[in-house]
C-alpha cells in the first residue's frame, strides 16, 4: 500500500488537530499525521503518557465541524446556536476509534 505524498493540513484539519492537542497534549503534532490512500489526514492520538488512545480522521472531523457550523445547519436548530469546541471534543471522543 502506497500512501499519497504528504500535503499541508487544511485550516479545518489544523483546527481539529488543535482541539486534539488541547485535550490530549503536545505529543500530537503535525509530524504525527499520516495520509490515507484517499488523501485523508489521520492521526493516532497519543495520551500525555505516550500511549495511543484513539485514531482520528482529521479530514472527516473537519468536514463534520464545517457542516455543523454552517448557516444552513445553524438555522435549522431551535436556538440557532453553534457547537462549542468542548462539545466538538465530546463528539470527537465518542466517534474516535479507541484502542
Q: What is the DSSP string of the chain?
A: --PPPP-PPPHHHHHHHHHHHHHH-TT--GGG-EE-TTS-EEEEEE-TTS-EEEEEEHHHHHHHHHHHHSHHHHHTSTT-----HHHHHHHHHHHSEE-
What pLDDT is recorded for position 6?
75
pLDDT tens-digit series, residues 5-60: 578 999 999 999 999 999 999 999 999 999 999 999 999 999 999 999 999 999 99
What pLDDT is recorded for position 67?
84
Q: Which of 11, 24, 29, 28 is nearest to 93 (CA)?
A: 24
What pLDDT is recorded for position 99?
38
pLDDT at 75 over 90: no
Residue, of 91 and 12, whose pLDDT is higher: 12
Residue, of 7 and 85, whose pLDDT is higher: 7
Amino acid at each position: 500500500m502506497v500512501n499519497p505524498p504528504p500535503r499541508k493540513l487544511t485550516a479545518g484539519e489544523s483546527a481539529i488537530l488543535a482541539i486534539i492537542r488541547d485535550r490530549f497534549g503536545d505529543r500530537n503534532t503535525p509530524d504525527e499525521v499520516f495520509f490515507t490512500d484517499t488523501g485523508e489526514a489521520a492521526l493516532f492520538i497519543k495520551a500525555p503518557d505516550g500511549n495511543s488512545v484513539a485514531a482520528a480522521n482529521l479530514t472527516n472531523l473537519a468536514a463534520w465541524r464545517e457542516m455543523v457550523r454552517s448557516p444552513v445547519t445553524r438555522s435549522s436548530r431551535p436556538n440557532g446556536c453553534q457547537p462549542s469546541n468542548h462539545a466538538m471534543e465530546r463528539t470527537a471522543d465518542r466517534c474516535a476509534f479507541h484502542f
